[in-house]
Amino acid sequence: MKQSHLVITATFGKEPGALHVVRALGTTFSVYTPGVDSTRVVGSIAAEWRELEDLFSPGLPDSEINRLRRGTLAWSEADNRLHSVALACRRLQIDTGGLFSAWHPGWFDPGDYVSGWAIRSAAAALYACGIPNFCISSDGETQTAGHGPKGGWRVSVADPARPDDPSTLVSLPSPGELAVATAGGSGASLTVVGDAIDQVGAIAWAALAAADGAPQVVRAAGFEAFGRDAAGNSWWTSGMPALATTLPE
């Protein structure tokens, strides 16, 4: 549903039932619960993600979002989850002064928000099943929680457009929730780090739209970030060095 010029990767263990890969919402999600067989709960999560695809996918002619655009579905008849996403997107639009917006001429497109929202919903499902230690990842977005494998969770961010640059490893100094999201376009790229993946993901795209004002947008939201502008100059917010073991040159 959206594309980033950066790639987030995570190395997972091979315990039976602990690693699951799900294709939904136009991307591939990986769910890893070290030491725990999460097959049943991830099955439920996957089913919900596929329901979300029926609601939000612009590639499905009969998705609710396309029916709204055509006028064959009224907002009053739309799924409650679509209303929840629309409300969250409206709040983010207000908070970012319009830099993040899911409204375009003639249609509503929350693609820059939905995948992060889906990951956060999955995290809530894992917590509810007594699984506080996990990593949920897709291309451009990762949410971790708990102490992670030995050495803790470490999220690697690389820019395939600059293969000679080192990857940046992002981690927390102590166990907790870590959300990492990337955005890129027109030669610029950035990564935002916080605790809630839906918020972090949206702020990444808002910061990208802000161009030279990207660091200020990130800090105003209470997050940290690093990036590279269209001219190739790297930058990072003041708190980022405490969360990254390697920073871009």
> What does the pLDDT look like over 151-165, one tens digit per residue?
789 898 987 677 677
In the block, tokens 């008849």 appear at 77
**Per the structure, how many domains does the chain have?**
1
How high is the pLDDT of residue 1? 43
How high is the pLDDT of residue 88? 97
How high is the pLDDT of residue 14? 59
Question: Which residue would you say has higher pLDDT here, 139 or 78?
Answer: 78
Q: Helix (H, G, I), strand (E, B), or coil: what is residue 157?
A: strand
How high is the pLDDT of residue 173? 87
List, for residues 7-24, the tens digit of each pLDDT value: 444 555 556 678 999 999
Residue 249 falls inside a structural domain: no
Question: Which residues constitute the domain of residue 83?
Answer: 7-242
Residue 99 falls inside a structural domain: yes
Residue 1 falls inside a structural domain: no
Output the six-digit token pair for 157. Answer: 């961010």
CATH number of the domain that 75 lies in?
3.10.520.10
Per-residue pLDDT averaged across 26-53, rounded? 93
How high is the pLDDT of residue 5? 44
Furthest-apart CA atoms within the chain: distance in Å? 52
DSSP-derived letter for residue 244 is B
List, for residues 168-196, the tens digit of each pLDDT value: 999 998 889 999 999 988 889 999 999 99
Residue 243's Cβ-count burial label (10 Å; 0-12, 13-18, 19+) is: buried
Residue 88 falls inside a structural domain: yes
How high is the pLDDT of residue 130? 97
Per-residue pLDDT averaged across 40-47, rounded? 96
How high is the pLDDT of residue 245? 76
How high is the pLDDT of residue 87? 97
How far is the C-alpha of 232 from the C-alpha of 43, rounded, in Å? 43
Residue 200 falls inside a structural domain: yes
What Å distances lie between residue 235 and 2, 177, 212, 213, 241, CA to CA? 24, 24, 10, 11, 11
Residue 133 falls inside a structural domain: yes
List, for residues 110-131, the tens digit of each pLDDT value: 989 999 999 999 999 999 999 9
Residue 247 falls inside a structural domain: no
How high is the pLDDT of residue 204? 96
Per-residue pLDDT averaged across 223-242, rounded? 92
| Average pLDDT score over the chain | 89
Per-residue pLDDT averaged across 49-61, rounded? 93
Per-residue pLDDT averaged across 65-77, rounded? 94
What Å distances lie between residue 209 and 97, 161, 203, 227, CA to CA? 11, 19, 10, 13
Residue 2 falls inside a structural domain: no
pTM of the model: 0.90
